[in-house]
Amino acid sequence: MRRAALAAVAVSSVLVVLKATAYIVTGSVAMMASLADSALDLFASSINLFAIRESLTPADREHRFGHGKAEPLAGLAQGAFIAGSATFLIVESIGRIVSPRAIDHAPVGLGVTVFSIAAVLCLVLYQRIAVARTGSIAIRADRMHYFGDLLANAGVALGIALSARFGILIADPIVGLGVAAVLAVSAWSVFRQSYDQLMDRELPDAERERIKEIVLGHPEVRNLHDLRTRAAGIYKFVQLHIELDPAISLTRAHEVSDEVENEILAAFRDAQVIIHQDPAGVERPPLLARS
């Protein structure tokens, strides 16, 4: 994960420098939108790098469940800054629609945009591999940003070409509005994922059903109940009760629990599993209210 985060910071740093130069030369609002997007990505990727480092820090005496929630906290910050950037671009684009302006030195802008598309495409592919391996919400959020960049850069190229080549000046700010829309959607998606993790939302239904399938697949497990799950960064937390033959020994009950836990861990890497053993068919007393 650290390599993917470092790659994102490096790519976005290069793009910010190139796009800032291109904007100064061309004056294109679409290029300014793309510059703002890349600057935001640099900030977000830097936050991700810090958050990933924190989330991978082992659990300690003050943080018994680890530091995984550093990732969704970073995601909330990203969502807020992305939304602010989208608002700024909307205002700037509307102003440029009201007062259209020709683009200078269009070939410079097009050249920078084509280079940006190639660089971001390579980064997105690399991040896709990292997400598949780790499930990191921070890298997934970054990948969504940069996938939006691909669309935005393609739009920038189109806007510059239509404005400079065919004199359609309104194309440039319209592309700026399109980029703002992409950023707004991305901001909501990142915010939603981060919020769900911070509020300990249950894992997706498909993953919960997979856990039940694994548990009930053990020949000595008669049933399960009180399955509770949540995620924090790349880590998943699973708690459940299994029902076993009341006549088996405590030692065998512990062995069955370990076998079930190992099966869950084989399917869900970086998971933490807690299993309580109950005798099947024995009615449980009601839990005492906690004062």
Q: In the predicted model, is pLDDT for residue 104 greater than 60?
A: no
Structural domain span for residue 263: 205-279
Per the structure, the count of domains in the chain is: 2
Tokens coding 44 = 């977000």
Is the domain of 39 the same as that of 93? yes
How many CA atoms does the CB half-sphere of 3 hold within 13 Å? 8
Q: How confident is the model at residue 285 (pLDDT cuts 50, 70, 90)?
A: low
Residue 285 falls inside a structural domain: no
Q: Where are the alpha helices (DSSP H) in 56-105?
A: 70-98
What value does the mean pLDDT of the chain take?
Answer: 79
Residue 245 falls inside a structural domain: yes
Q: Angle of helix 70-98 relative to helix 29-55, nearest 10 degrees?
A: 170
Is the domain of 230 the same as that of 193? no
pLDDT digits (tens, 9 = 90+) for 28-60: 766 776 777 777 778 777 776 776 666 667 666
Average pLDDT over residues 92-109: 70
Is the domain of 260 the same as that of 182? no
Is the domain of 101 the same as that of 240? no
Q: What is the pLDDT of residue 287?
A: 56
Residue type, 195: Y
- Is the CB of residue 55 less than 8 Å from the CB of residue 67? yes
Tokens coding 274 = 């807690």
Residue 284 falls inside a structural domain: no
pLDDT digits (tens, 9 = 90+) for 114-137: 888 888 888 888 888 877 777 666
Is the domain of 95 the same as that of 230? no
Average pLDDT over residues 78-97: 76
Is the domain of 193 the same as that of 226? no
Phi and psi dihedrals of 281, rounded to 5? Answer: 80, 0
Q: Which residues contact 72 (CB under 8 A, 6 or more apart)?
A: 137, 193, 194, 195, 196, 197, 198, 232, 233
Closest CA to 192 of 62, 85, 78: 78
Q: In the predicted model, is pLDDT for residue 13 greater than 60?
A: yes
pLDDT digits (tens, 9 = 90+) for 163-221: 767 777 777 678 778 877 877 887 887 788 788 878 888 888 999 999 999 999 999 99
Q: Looking up tokens 């599993």, which residue turns up?
A: 273
Percent of the chain with pLDDT over 90: 21
Q: What is the pLDDT of residue 286?
A: 60
Residue 49 falls inside a structural domain: yes
Return the CATH number at 180. Answer: 1.20.1510.10
H or E stretch covering 223? strand 223-232
Residue 250 falls inside a structural domain: yes
d(CA 261, CA 245): 18
- Is the CB of residue 276 less than 8 Å from the CB of residue 242? yes
- Indicate the pairing of strand 235-244 with strand 271-279: parallel
Tokens coding 50 = 């810090």
Q: What is the pLDDT of residue 290?
A: 44
